[in-house]
Chains A and B, each alone.
Chain A
């Protein structure tokens, strides 16, 4: 049975979406593009195997390289998410700062 690019990309997106829920809207185009790219490269490895143009050892190396590349995308998304969380926290603190400091009488925030 051959691999299906659309199905692979969809499964990958469905698996990553719940993890990235908080900032999904911002990272969706980037993750979508790279998931499709990853799936396309898997398809190419499958095609090369069928054509006897790749050995098992070479295929294993290529798969590991593609996996590492995709994991880098997810780590970048994690980092971008932390920046978004940081911005949200600072905005939240900024929003309550005056009220809290006034109520307590000390500049705590």
Chain B
């Protein structure tokens, strides 16, 4: 029974040190947000699926703009949802900037697709768009993963 006392005291000191460390920690960025991570993953999957279909069968009727409007509506809804959510968070400038650029690129791709005379993106359009969006999502996931690691979640 007597031997338990120094151990408890030791834990108490350890807890005190942890609390002090937490209290003095410098934070320059917002913390990891699981919802942003999940919605971003869903957006990336939808975009990748569209590019894979376009590569597999570039002239498919299904891929004409008139049949892909729901795809753009879904992506724009996701992007707006994420922007509103992230705008409400302090110290979140890099993520807000990246989401603005993602939103802009979705609108630019929509515009390119909408103005195609035959309603279809060309093989070269798809190649350029796929490369741009892959780069964009990769950069965003790198940052999200770093926030996740920083939070001790990975």
Interface residues of A (CB under 8 A from B): 30, 34, 37-38, 40-41, 44-45, 48, 53-54, 57-58, 61-62, 64-66, 68-73, 75-76, 78-80, 82-83, 85-86, 89-90, 93-94, 97, 107, 109
Chain B CB within 10 Å, residue with most, of A34, A62, A89: A62
Within 8 A of A (CB), among B102-148: 102, 104-105, 108-109, 111-112, 115, 122, 124-125, 127-129, 131-133, 135-136, 139-140, 142-143, 146-147
Q: Across the interface, do A44 and B124 meet the contact criterion of CB distance under 8 Å?
A: yes
Which residues of B line the A interface, CB within 8 A?
A: 20-21, 24-29, 94-95, 97-98, 101-102, 104-105, 108-109, 111-112, 115, 122, 124-125, 127-129, 131-133, 135-136, 139-140, 142-143, 146-147, 150
Residues on A with C-beta less than 8 A from B139 are: 34, 72-73, 75-76
In the complex, A53 Cα to B115 Cα: how many Å? 15
Question: Do B147 and A83 have beta carbons less than 8 Å apart?
Answer: yes
Q: Which chain A residue shows the least CB distance to B27?
A: A86
Asked if A66 and B128 make an inter-chain contact with CB atoms under 8 angstroms apart, the answer reads yes
Q: Is the interface of A mostly helix, strand, loop or mixed?
A: helix
Interface centre among B25, B102, B122, B124 (most CB of A within 10 A): B124
- Complex contacts, A69 vs chain B, CB 8 Å: 101, 105, 131-133, 135-136
Judging by beta carbons under 8 Å apart, are A68 and B27 in contact? Answer: no
Interchain CB contact under 8 A, A72 and B135: yes
- Asked if A90 and B135 sit within 8 Å, CB to CB, the answer is no
Is A68 a contact of B101 with CB atoms below 8 Å?
Answer: yes
A92: nearest chain-B partner, CB-CB:
B26
Nearest-CB residue, chain B, relative to A73: B139
Q: Smallest CB–CB gap between B119 and chain A, Å?
A: 14
Q: Give 24 CB contacts A-B under 8 Å.
A: A30-B142, A34-B139, A48-B124, A53-B122, A58-B115, A62-B112, A65-B105, A66-B132, A68-B108, A70-B135, A72-B102, A72-B135, A72-B139, A73-B139, A75-B98, A80-B143, A82-B94, A83-B146, A83-B147, A83-B150, A86-B27, A86-B150, A109-B20, A109-B24
**Contact call A41/B28, Cβ cutoff below 8 A:** no
Measured CB to CB, the nearest residue on chain B to A30 is B142
The smallest C-beta distance from A45 to any residue of chain B, in angstroms, reads 7
Contact A57 B115 (CB under 8 A): yes
